[in-house]
Amino acid sequence: MKRQLLVLGAGTAGTMIVNKLRRRLDREEWDITVVDRDDSHPYQPGYLFLPFGRYSSDQIHRSRHTLLPDGVDFVVGEVDKVDPATSTVTLQGGRSLSYTYLVIASGTSPRPDQTPGMLGPEWRRSIFDFYTFEGAQALATALTEFDHGRLVVHITDMPIKCPVAPLEFTFLAEAWLREKGLRDRVELVYVTPLPGAFTKPVASEHLGSMLEERKIHVESDFLVEHIDPEAKTLVSYDEREVPFDLLVTVPLNMGADFVERSGLGDELNYVPVDKHTLQSKAFSNIFAVGDASDIPTSKAGSVAHFSVEIFVDNFLELIEGKPMTGSFDGHANCFIESGDGKGLLIDFNYDTEPLTGTYPLPIAGPMALLKETRRNHLGKLAFRWIYWNVLLPGRPLPLPAHMSMAGKSPASTDPKEM
């Protein structure tokens, strides 16, 4: 009887896994099935550019099944519940799927319903998100009509998908307003639950200085309790208030609801796993990859990429009865659009701060770390082609899965020295 690999989610991590493992698992011995709620795979980094008139729907969406290899069964359906006791997954509608090993790759999603006042009469009228295709499109329309007032960019809580994206939106909005001749008519405010601009102190100091240089006010340590849609005001638990004319918010991010129904998640529906192997802490034949896990690093595409590289080799060892020898170090790197055709790049892991230097090679780079350059901006734009044609198909990228210290040096917190 064949063994069954069942993957819940055909996003970045799930698609990479099935493409890599289909090549390496014996088809006579293994069936691979992947489940997702629909057949539309979005290039989510593209959502950032939609409000500013860049990218179109056909550049952002492709059919999931066209990205999967032959020999993989693709099932469109909503997951209702996982039953680890019987190694089965039940879909809404009653269909049951068995597994020998289960990979939860169901990602994370914005949940505006979790903040009182966020949804309601002002939702996508004066309150917008850009972490969804529909939200980014609606925001694009709103920006064309916005010519003065208070533009507030807001993060509800951490963790969030792509934690640099709110900063990127703020930088792009500031540059866009200057280009339109509207900057002196718009007050820009960045509201964050963090004590600074970012989670890592060195990068936070540098990015905070960039916000200050652009005359963007930062309201830090702000945990929103509710939004007053009539007064158009954010209200924090410590009773601070931030008024807005146009609010661009990042709602609370949460994992899939079936994770909660199955008793597999934490309070935000993320699956607790060993942060080095991605194996469930509760069930040895269950893994969570990409944004679905609770690992303490960025919920970003680069984390999915680097962690999948480790997972695949570990999985092949596991099914042969060997110890898993790979250890994911939390490696993440992110391009940060900063406006005016420039961008930054940061590279870090569980234990190491973003550092100055070059990436991926010493001296030669070609990318500069923690420094605004045209090349970093072009690198971010080029990533869309790499995503569709190299990353998702599971083809090798000449980048180490583990963070390398080659070409890096301890970072100064003074941006003038960077």
What are the DSSP calls for 206-267, one per residue? HHHHHHHHTT-EEE-S--EEEEETTTTEEEETT--EEE-SEEEEEPPEE--HHHHHTT---T
Per-position b or e across 126-155, b if 16+ CB within 10 A of its CB: bbbbbbbbebbbbbbebbeebeeebbbbbb
Q: What mean pLDDT comes out for the span 29-39?
A: 98
Average pLDDT, the chain: 95
Q: Give the pLDDT confidence of 101-114 residue by residue, as tens digits.
A: 999 999 999 999 99
Q: Give the pLDDT confidence of 37-86 residue by residue, as tens digits.
A: 999 999 999 999 999 988 877 789 999 999 999 999 999 999 999 999 99
Class of domain 111-252: alpha beta
pLDDT band at 416 (very low <50, low <70, confident <90, very high): very low
Cα distance between residue 21 and residue 167, in whole Å: 36
Q: What mean pLDDT comes out for the span 397-414?
A: 78
Q: What is the share, in percent, of the chain residues with pLDDT greater than 70?
A: 98
Query: What's the confidence (pLDDT) of residue 364?
Result: 78
Query: What's the confidence (pLDDT) of residue 1?
Result: 87
CA atoms within 13 A on the CB side of 118: 20
Give the predicted TM-score (pTM) of the model: 0.94
Q: Which CATH architecture has domain 3-108+255-319?
A: 3-Layer(bba) Sandwich (3.50)
Residue ranges of the chain assigned to CATH 3.50.50.60: 3-108+255-319, 111-252
Q: Give the pLDDT confidence of 250-277 residue by residue, as tens digits.
A: 999 999 999 999 999 999 999 999 999 9
pLDDT band at 414 (very low <50, low <70, confident <90, very high): very low
Q: What mean pLDDT comes out for the span 347-351?
A: 94
Q: Give the pLDDT confidence of 176-195 residue by residue, as tens digits.
A: 999 999 999 999 999 999 99
Residue 418 confidence (pLDDT) above 50: no
Query: What's the confidence (pLDDT) of residue 410?
Result: 66
User: Coil, helix or strand for 134?
Assistant: helix
